[in-house]
Amino acid sequence: MKIVQIDVHQVNLPMTKTICLSGGRYYKSLDSTIVGITTNDGITGWGESCPYGANYLPGYAQGVRCGINELAPHLLKKNPVHIEYLNDLMDRELIGHYYLKSAIDMALWDILGKASTLPVCELMGGRWGDGTDVQVAISVDAPETMIRTIAAWREGGIHKFSVKLSGEPKVDEDCIRQIMAAAHPMDDYVFDANKGYTVANALRAMQNVRDLDFLLEQPCATYEECRAVHRKVLQPMVLDECIDSLKILLRVIADRSAEAVNIKISKVGGLTKARKIRDLCADAGILVCLQDTGGSDIAKAAITHLAHSTPDTIRHSLWDCKDAIEIETARGVGEIIDGKLSAPIKPGLGISINKSAIGKPVAVYK
């Protein structure tokens, strides 16, 4: 089997609601890159990379397509099921820039699943349970508005919430208290600063909510700053933006600096590297939430496969990366039932691409 063609599609993803993070970062639409890799025996695998704006993590939408232009010639005529080899090849030919390699790696797993007639989750460890709890993000807003949004999701069976903080200590302290006062017994809250605090402000924000039961996520920009906060707060900590490799996870384990991590597929370079991080978390007893930086149905399918193959002893949740996306780029991902998502049962990612939604390719390599 050989790769004979790589198609690259650029797709604008309009959002049904504006997403707001700390520091006044707003996102009204996303720019996604969708990749189709075709083999000489007619199998096409699909992948997606969608940076959440250029001011969230290193990486930007046009950079995905520029990077694929660098890598595509090196991938043609290679065997797509040699996934570890091709990941090593990509890392040798283009140092770093993991976010753009994720779309390619995702497509390779889709090919492997289709060629072996197995769903990706069964290739990654098998299905654990009947699905994964879904966590939804609650944007920065007035506390009463956030409480109403949470209540609406709860009516739909969701009980895990990632509540975004503003980065202003007194504002956030009041927000946390009001939301927790309205919480239901089954609710599970993460309060996420998205790197918005200094160490001093993180401690100021947390000192008067020490009695409340929630997880604190990525208060500061760097690992060292988050570690300093972790040593002085009572709440368990989730690390997100700084978890970008196995090396940093080894530091987390050695320092005992977090109780949970978010694994974003594109941030670490694809499903191959995400699985390795997931497996090390399982050995270390660290909770994981499976995510991606953004994207549509294709990225969502990949997340559900990684999540469903994760041991339920460490699996906290998955983030529905397309809950606010208006268009459907693929069918077959599945619907949230009783607050859970299950991985598709068809081979590969288990989805069928909506060709009219992704349009014609902006680049073709063959």
**Is-catalytic flag, 164?**
yes
Residue-level pLDDT at 17: 73
Rounded distance, CA 160 to CA 320, Å? Answer: 11
Rounded distance, CA 186 to CA 36, Å? Answer: 41
Rounded distance, CA 227 to CA 218, Å? Answer: 10
Residue-level pLDDT at 26: 66
Q: How many CB atoms lie within 10 A of CB 222?
A: 12
170 lies in the same domain as 305: yes
Number of structural domains in the chain: 2
242 lies in the same domain as 196: yes
Has residue 41 got a pLDDT over 70? yes
- What are the phi and psi torsion angles at 264 (to 5°)? -95, 120
Domain that holds residue 144: 122-352
Q: How many CB atoms lie within 10 A of CB 192?
A: 26
Has residue 344 got a pLDDT over 90? yes
Catalytic residue from among 101, 114, 160, 164 = 164
49 lies in the same domain as 175: no
What pLDDT band is residue 244 in, cutting at 50, 70 and 90? very high
11 lies in the same domain as 136: no
Has residue 19 got a pLDDT over 70? no
pTM (2 decimals)? 0.95
Contact yes or no for 62/40 (Cβ under 8 A)? no
Q: Note the pLDDT tens digit of each residue in 189-240.
A: 999 999 999 999 999 999 999 999 999 999 999 999 999 999 999 999 999 9
**Is-catalytic flag, 346?**
no
Region 303-315: mean pLDDT is 97
111 lies in the same domain as 32: yes
Has residue 22 got a pLDDT over 90? no
Catalytic residue from among 101, 114, 160, 264 = 264
112 lies in the same domain as 258: no
Q: Note the pLDDT tens digit of each residue in 91-125.
A: 999 999 999 999 999 999 999 999 999 999 999 99
Beta bridge partners of 318: 134, 290
39 lies in the same domain as 180: no
Give one DSSP letter per residue of 86-118, joined into a string.
Answer: HHHHHHHHS-S-HHHHHHHHHHHHHHHHHHHT-
CATH number at residue 276: 3.20.20.120
82 lies in the same domain as 133: no
Map residue 126 onto helix, strand or coil.
coil
206 lies in the same domain as 109: no
191 lies in the same domain as 323: yes
328 lies in the same domain as 361: no
Map residue 358 onto helix, strand or coil.
helix
